[in-house]
Amino acid sequence: MTGRLRTALAEECSRCLRAIRVPVEVELEEEALPSVDIASGLPLDMDLEPEILRLNDHHELELLAVVREGIQLAEPIAPLCRPDCPGLCVVCGEELANGPHEHPDESVDPRLEALRGFRVDEESGTE
Ligand SMILES: [Zn+2]
Ligand SMILES: [Zn+2]
């Protein structure tokens, strides 16, 4: 059995966490043996080749497990929304793809931004 299938996976960009669809193409090449003797209808000894794919009792090949495994192998480890995705700003978490932005004082935790504003007000009050 050989086959090629195309699908798309719902993934998350590994840099900017944006939801993306990743197209994948899966090449399938499997050999399958019957599980019952076609002439006599008697079950065959499946222990002889335990690793090999088997047709079911109705001589049908069940593709679900094969396809699922093929897709898992094709799934990218670190999917990207685009090859040069710049990811997220390490300071504020903003998407860098939105354009450059600046942080007036990189050492200040953005969560403490309100406190800095408070300090400035205090200084101006003493002048
Ligand atoms: Zn991205
Ligand atoms: Zn930032």
Give the distance (Å) from ligand 1 centre to CA of residue 71.
22
Give the distance (Å) from ligand 2 centre to CA of residue 10.
27
Residues 22 and 13: their CA atoms lie apart, in Å, by: 9
**Mind listing the pLDDT tens digit of every residue in the chain (127 residues)?**
899 999 999 999 999 999 999 999 999 998 999 888 888 888 888 888 888 889 888 889 888 989 999 999 999 999 999 999 999 998 899 999 888 888 876 565 666 656 555 544 444 444 4
Give the distance (Å) from ligand 1 centre to CA of residue 11.
11
Nearest to residue 85, comparing CAs of 6, 10, 22? Answer: 22
Give the distance (Å) from ligand 2 centre to CA of residue 63.
48
Please give the model's pTM, rounded to 2 decimal places.
Answer: 0.61
The residues spanned by each domain of the chain are: 1-85, 88-127
Burial class (CB within 10 angstroms; exposed 0-12, middle 13-18, buried 19+) of 119: exposed
Give the distance (Å) from ligand 1 centre to CA of residue 90.
14
